[in-house]
Amino acid sequence: MATVNDNYLKLKAGYLFPEIGRRVTAFAEANPDAPIIRLGIGDVTEPLPEACRTAMIQAVEEMGDRAGFKGYGPEQGYGWLREKIAAHDFQARDCEVDASEIFISDGSKCDCGNILDIFGDSNTIAVTDPVYPVYVDTNVMAGHTGEINDRGEYGGLVYLPITAENNFTAEIPSQKVDLIYLCFPNNPTGATATREHLQDWVNYAKMHGSIIFFDAAYEAFITDPALPHSIYEIEGARDCAIEFRSFSKNAGFTGTRCAFTVVPKTLTAKAKDGSDVQLWQLWNRRQSTKFNGVSYIVQRGAEAVYSEVGKAQTKALIDFYMENARIIREQLTAAGIQVYGGENAPYVWVKTPYGLSSWDFFDKLLQTVNVVGTPGAGFGAAGEGYFRISAFNSRENVTEAMRRITENFKVA
């Protein structure tokens, strides 16, 4: 008799965003005329930059004759894209990252989960609370946790609360952990990390032989020039960090799919026999075996992000969403609602008014003003009492959603 991976049975409800989707669909079916505005999942709404579209169209044309046709590409991504990323995203910031250390993929979500393939099962794993749920759920699926408790915490994970009191940046744990997930600018709180804070993490990781998984999917939204965009801006990070990046949010590729992961060749972890093993080599082996790369057409589209015109167009997209974030912050603050984030990130982290639980606020917003956000509790126990509002939408929808919320939920 075939058996299942029992670890999946430990997972609580469905994955957060499909769960929200189900509730919204049920509401929409019962209320077909409700003018629902979705500020829940961080999915982009504005069209792909013209530079990317032009490059993709040209790539399609190339594929139309034998000379230009491409079959399987390199599993790690085409060299011309990796070179551009290395030059523009890293070397331009004085980060020592070589093109060969960049692995192109179809998404950071997948990479954050897949990276566990190359790590052992006995690592102690730390996540922040609240946290992007993929980090937790993929560890549950891989059997790295115990059962879930009443607070929604899995046994075996080390939770590092990020709260208003610590400015939404996790304190360095007193105990030793082997794998640490950090996300800055942060999803869901929109908080950022200073160089000093990241240096503390790198020092900790180097002292304990830990690996930091640094999710920088939202780095393009940083407006404060003092903030680091990459963990490799921090001294010593090449010896202890893997970085995840994406074209989803900066260039609108959520549907087009292109991302990349940086695994420095200097990074090692221990084998059972105590020897040091290069993680680059393992990730390269994993990708070559389980992945056939991102399509040539999409990679050409991603490459266009680095052209002068592409840079200007993606900057305009980012500025557009950040203006939405500013409107959300300003309107909610004026209505007496406490907000965080939204200054260097496309997410605004809202203290729920009237002491409502985050799912109660979700239901109230959906039912009374037909606005969808994401309940903080969906990101972890410490997210209770908070609510995430995404700035990814049209100006019209954001303005209208803020009008409805502020008129109905003003705090005296």
Q: Which two tokens stand for residue 196?
A: 């000093």
Of residues 43 and 233, the one with the C-beta less far from ligand MLT: 43
CB of residue 92 to ligand MLT, shortest distance in Å = 25
- Residue 403: what are its φ and ψ, rounded to 5°? -60, -45
Of residues 268 and 390, the one with the C-beta less far from ligand MLT: 390
Integer Cα distance of 82 and 101 in angstroms: 9
Closest by CA to 352, choosing from 320, 315, 389, 310, is 389
Closest by CA to 34, choosing from 390, 392, 369, 403, is 369
Q: Which of residues 16-45 bind ligand MLT (CB under 6 A)?
A: 41-43
Of residues 42 and 190, the one with the C-beta less far from ligand MLT: 42
Is the omega angle on the peptide bond into residue 185 within 30 degrees of 0, that is, cis? yes
- Residue 270: what are its φ and ψ, rounded to 5°? -85, 140
Does 261 engage in binding with ligand MLT (CB under 6 A)? no
CB of residue 94 to ligand MLT, shortest distance in Å = 28
Question: SS in 3 state form for 80-101?
Answer: HHHHHHHHHHHHHHCCCCCHHH
Give the x-and-dash track for 39-78 against ligand MLT (CB under 6 A): --xxx-----------------------------------
Q: Which of residues 366-385 bind ligand MLT (CB under 6 A)?
A: none
Position closest to ligand MLT via CB: 42
Integer Cα distance of 291 and 283 in angstroms: 11
CB of residue 383 to ligand MLT, shortest distance in Å = 12
Q: How many residues bind ligand MLT (CB under 6 A)?
A: 5
Of residues 16 and 305, the one with the C-beta less far from ligand MLT: 16
Residue at token pair 């994955």: 15
Integer Cα distance of 395 and 39 in angstroms: 12
CB of residue 71 to ligand MLT, shortest distance in Å = 30
Of residues 49 and 378, the one with the C-beta less far from ligand MLT: 378
Q: Which of 128, 139, 187, 210 binds ligand MLT (CB under 6 A)?
A: 187
In the sheet where 374-375 sits, what is the strand order? 339-341, 347-351, 386-390, 374-375
Of residues 42 and 353, the one with the C-beta less far from ligand MLT: 42
Strand-pair partners of 128: 160
Give the x-and-dash track for 97-136 against ligand MLT (CB under 6 A): ------------x---------------------------
Q: Helix count (H) and strand count (E) of the chain? A: 11, 15
Integer Cα distance of 299 and 99 in angstroms: 15
Of residues 103 and 392, the one with the C-beta less far from ligand MLT: 392
CB of residue 109 to ligand MLT, shortest distance in Å = 4
Q: Would you tell me which residues interact with ligand MLT (CB under 6 A)?
A: 41-43, 109, 187
